[in-house]
Amino acid sequence: MIIGLLNQKGGVGKTTIAVNLAASLARAGARVLLIDADPQGSALDWAAAREGEPLFAVVGLPRATVHKEIGTIGQGYDHIIVDGPPRVTDLARSAIMASDVVLIPVQPSPYDIWAAGEVVKLIDEARVYKESLKSVFVVNRKIANTAIARDVDEALASYPVPALVNRITQRVIFAEAAAQGKAVHEIDADGPAAAEIEAVKAELMEIMQ
Ligand SMILES: Nc1ncnc2c1ncn2[C@@H]1O[C@H](COP(=O)(O)OP(=O)(O)OP(=O)(O)O)[C@@H](O)[C@H]1O
Ligand SMILES: [Mg+2]
C-alpha cells in the first residue's frame, strides 16, 4: 500500500506521522520505504539523526515526478509512505497521484481544518485520473483528556472526507523521538504515543481492505 501524508499547511505532523507509521509497519515485519518528497528533507534529517540500525529505507525524492518513479523505486517493498511537502503545489500533486490513500493530518482547530480545503481540492482533482484514490483526515496534537470541541467535529464534517476515529495526542515524546531519529515505540514501547500510532495504523489498514 502507498500512503501519502499531505497537507499544504506546514507543521501539522506529516513527517512525525510518516516516520512513526513507517516504523510501526516495519516493526510488524513489513518491508517499508519512506519517500521524502519534501525539499525541506525532514524525513532525511530524521534518518540522519539516527544511530544504529535503520528501521526502514528512506530516500529523498522532492520532485514532481514521484508518481511516475514510484513504481520503479518502490519495487520489493510491502508498504511505501510518502512524506509530502507543505505549500509546493506541483510536488504535492505528484505525491497525491502516487498514493493509494492520502492521510491528511490536521490540528484540532477549525482554522487548521478549513486550511485543509486546499489539499482536499488537489485530491479531488487527482481523482479524475485516479478514481480509486482514497483520503482520510487524522487529528494530530489533540490535548490529552479533552473531548474534541464540537466546532472541530463540525469543521471536519464540512468535507466529504472521513476522519479517523483514532487521534494522536500532543506529546513531548514525539519531538524527543524525532531528535534522536527514533520512533516513539523505541523510547516507550508500551506508552500511549506508540499505542495511538498502532491504532491509527490498524484503522487505516481496515479502511484499505
Ligand atoms: N503529536 C505531537 N505531539 C507533540 N509534538 C508534535 C506532534 N506532532 C508533531 N509535533 C511536532 O510539531 C512540529 C511539526 O511536526 P512535523 O514536522 O511532523 O509537521 P509537518 O507537517 O511535517 O511540517 P512541514 O509542513 O514543515 O513538513 C515538530 O516539531 C514535531 O516534533
Ligand atoms: Mg514535514
Cα separation, 75 vs 33, in Å, equals 10
Q: Which of 9, 5, 24, 10 is nearest to 184 (CA)?
A: 24
Could you give phi then psi for residue 178, rounded to 5 degrees?
-60, -40
pLDDT at position 65 is: 98
For residue 87, which atom of ligand 1 is closest to its CA? 25
Instruction: Tell me, using a 6 A CB cutoff, whether residue 94 lines ligand 1.
Output: no
Give domain limits for the chain. Answer: 2-203
Residue 200, CA atoms < 13 Å, CB-side half-sphere: 28
Q: Which of 1, 62, 71 is nearest to 32 (CA)?
A: 1
SS (HEC) of the chain = CEEEECCCCCCCCHHHHHHHHHHHHHHCCCCEEEEECCCCCHHHHHHHHCCCCCCCEEEECCCCCHHHHHHHHCCCCCEEEEECCCCCHHHHHHHHHHCCEEEEEECCCHHHHHHCHHHHHHHHHHHCCCCCCEEEEEECCECCCCCCCHHHHHHHHCCCCCECCCCCECCHHHHHHHHCCCCHHHHCCCCHHHHHHHHHHHHHHHHHC
Instruction: Tell me, using a 6 A CB cutoff, whether residue 171 lines ligand 1.
Output: yes
Ligand sitting nearest the alpha carbon of 43: 2
Q: Give residue 163's region: left, alpha or beta (phi > 0; psi -120 to 50).
A: beta
Kindly give the parts of the chain with pLDDT less than 50. Answer: none
Distances in whole angstroms, Cα of residue 51 to Cα of each of 42, 54, 55, 72, 180: 16, 8, 11, 29, 8
For residue 140, which atom of ligand 1 is closest to its CA? 1
- What is the rounded end-to-end Cα distance, in angstroms, of the chain? 10
pLDDT at position 144 is: 84
Ligand sitting nearest the alpha carbon of 87: 1
Q: From atom 14 of ligand 1, which residue's Cα is the shortest distance away?
A: 11
User: Is the CB of residue 18 less than 8 Å from the CB of residue 56?
Assistant: no
pLDDT at position 149 is: 84
For residue 86, which atom of ligand 1 is closest to its CA? 25
Q: How far away, in angstroms, is 178 Cα from ligand 1 center? A: 9
Q: Could you tell me the three cell numbers for 142? A: 489533540
pLDDT digits (tens, 9 = 90+) for 40-65: 999 999 999 999 899 999 999 999 99
Instruction: Tell me, using a 6 A CB cutoff, whether residue 140 lines ligand 1.
Output: yes
Q: How far away, in angstroms, is 129 Cα from ligand 1 center? A: 31
**CATH classification (class only), 2-203:** alpha beta
Residue whose cell numbers read 514525539: 174
Q: Which of 5, 9, 14, 16 to mutate to test the pocket of ligand 1 (most atoms within 8 A of CB)?
A: 16
